[in-house]
A and B are shown apart, each in its own frame.
Chain A
Amino acid sequence: MLESLQYIFAPQIINGLSIGVAVILMALGLTIIFGLLDVINMSHGEFYAAGAFLSVSLMSIGISFWWTLILVPVLLIPFGILMQELLIKKVFHHKDRHILTLLLTFGVATILEDLYKIIWGANTAKPATPITGASEVLGVMFPNYRLFLMVFGAALIFAVWLLIYKTAIGSIVRAATLDRDMSASLGIPVNKVYALTFAFGVALAALSGVLLAPIYSVFPTMGKDFILMAFAVVIVGGLGSIKGAVIAGILLTQLQSLSSLYISPVWSDPIVFAVMVLVLMFKPSGLYAGMKNG
């Protein structure tokens, strides 16, 4: 009993956690963009891919992985600002905003995916793991990079939460979410807040791309496979909620990795989406909807 716990369950749980942290990072960007702007960003997966690709390119010209961790998100911030200012703002005041922004970002995703094929080719790249070796946790060996990913990711998620709920910047963002007109009349530059928040979400997606590139492979449609999971996490957690994203992210990835002990792992995707549909049926706005709930 204890042995099966140590050698069968513990590795699955820890593997699940390392994927979970990555998914939560993706989901954070999505949920923040939705919470503030009411925009479902269908191109989020493509920004994640952009992060991975840029990181690979920068490393190929001799920049170390650790620098790309900072450089790539910073490089993508202007892109996020431009997208908000040039595209999303145009349809922002339309009464079908949800639908139009969803379509708009879907169009952007189509363009970006093809663009990556032109720039980087359709082949799969795999960067070298920046931290090699493995360590023993609970008597089982784990690659060091995965352990780093878990600790770093968890710290990052906590930092984002602190930024939004415990700082002045965060309260400005939350105020703009809650009541746009009131915040504007109190002197908050609402448009700037929107653009920067969108860019922040994009930067988070790119950062998860950089972090995950050494584990998964880098290819033009990599965003598609991963974004579905992130969407499921955001939906189950409740659109706009950070706490929800964290809880749902852990729950769903654990479900995925533990269920693969009993049934073929090819069924883990249908299971995750079935859970998502079930949650939506009984709690249509997810576990914790909205930004005010933390």
Chain B
Amino acid sequence: MDKYQQKAIRMMEWLMLIAAILLVIIGKLTGDTFFLRLATEALIFGGLALSVDLLLGIVGLLSLGQALYFGFGAYLSAVILRDWIPSFWVCILTVTFASALLGWITSYIALRSKGVYFALISFGLAQVFAKSIYNTRSLGASDGMVGVPIIQIPLPFVTLNLGDAVTFFVITFIFMGSIYFALKYFLYTPLGRIWAGVRSNESRLPYLGYNTAAPKRIAFILAAMVAGVSGALYPMLRGFVSPELMYFSVSGNAVITVVLGGVGTLIGPLFGSSLLMILKSVIGTLTLHHHIVIGLIFVVLVIFAPKGIVGMLSTKLKNRGVR
């Protein structure tokens, strides 16, 4: 990661913060919550993309089934909030631990293979889960689960109401921001350096005395947790979950998001998710067939700018000679 890329990343972090503040101000002033809710959803799917980037960009594992953990988090959150206890903290903590557990168990299946085979096995795993949920009547089968209540978050001095779009947006923003900075911190620990080593030359690390299995497993579990927690926020926003959340289109979209934003940059996925949401809603108002446009943009990106927006920005900075 050269200094131009770091500079580009820092610029995008500020950009995200400014955009968020603007959104909140506009939302407060106009009372129009449509864009805030859209932005919240973008951030939630950004969290899923972040977990894909952790695997793909940091460790070098392409997951085509990350929606499995996202959907798992969403379903668990819906069950907890609706049928057990409508508490934000109980829900988030349970989902975090449960996703870590699921990640740990499935890592023994998925991490047996690498490269293309890892991509395919993660895809297959998600498929088994999605179809099983689809067939389980007690989880709503193909209809999913509706009627997840709007919840309150009791804090020492105030109680936050997630029914309020501005509050929900700010909470999600802080949530994703914390995950982002936590993951970024990991990159500079010894563990993070081993991940970089695994990505560039996995077979060489054991010769240097490093065990690669444990770091990979930790990354896989972390990714499952990030995806799971992001998923947990989804039913709080939308009030329902459906088996589509685990389908390949969700996993695939997350990969598109990562490539659009910039693989291995962590800010790229969050930024890419917001951009994709804007693109979809803008193009969606112009034509019914926004998939063609998204697909075209994606194909052009893969061919001409495989490093995404962060890559383009850092090349630009480099050419200008910004220090």
Contacts and interface: CB of A to CB of B under 8 A. Distances in A.
Interface of A: 40, 87, 90-91, 94, 96, 98-100, 102-104, 106-111, 113-115, 117-118, 228, 231-232, 235, 239, 264, 266-267, 269-270, 273-274, 276-277, 280-281, 284-285
A117 B135 CA distance: 28
Query: Shortest 6 CB-CB distances between A and B: which pairs?
Result: A110-B295, A111-B295, A114-B291, A107-B298, A107-B299, A284-B113
Nearest to B129: A270
B306 A91 contact: yes
Interface in B284-323: 289-292, 294-296, 298-299, 302-303, 306
B298 A110 contact: yes
A114 B302 contact: no
A284 B127 contact: no
B131 A277 contact: no
B27 to A, nearest CB: 32
Contacts of A276: 124
B306 A273 contact: no
Given A107-B296, A118-B289, A273-B127, 6 more contacts: A107-B295, A111-B295, A270-B127, A270-B132, A277-B128, A280-B124
B302 A284 contact: no
A273 B291 contact: no
A280 B292 contact: no
Given A90-B303, A281-B109, A115 B292 contact: yes
Contact of B294 (A98, A110, A232, A277): A110
**Interface residues on chain B, size class:** 35 or more
Contacts of A277: 109, 121, 124-125, 128
- Is chain B's interface secondary structure helix, strand, loop, or mixed overall? helix
Contacts of B252: 106
Contacts of A108: 295, 299
Contacts of A269: 127, 131
Contacts of A87: 299, 303
A285 B292 contact: no
Given A108-B295, A270-B135, A284-B117, A102 B124 contact: no
Given A111-B296, A269-B131, A277-B121, A99 B62 contact: yes
Nearest to A40: B116
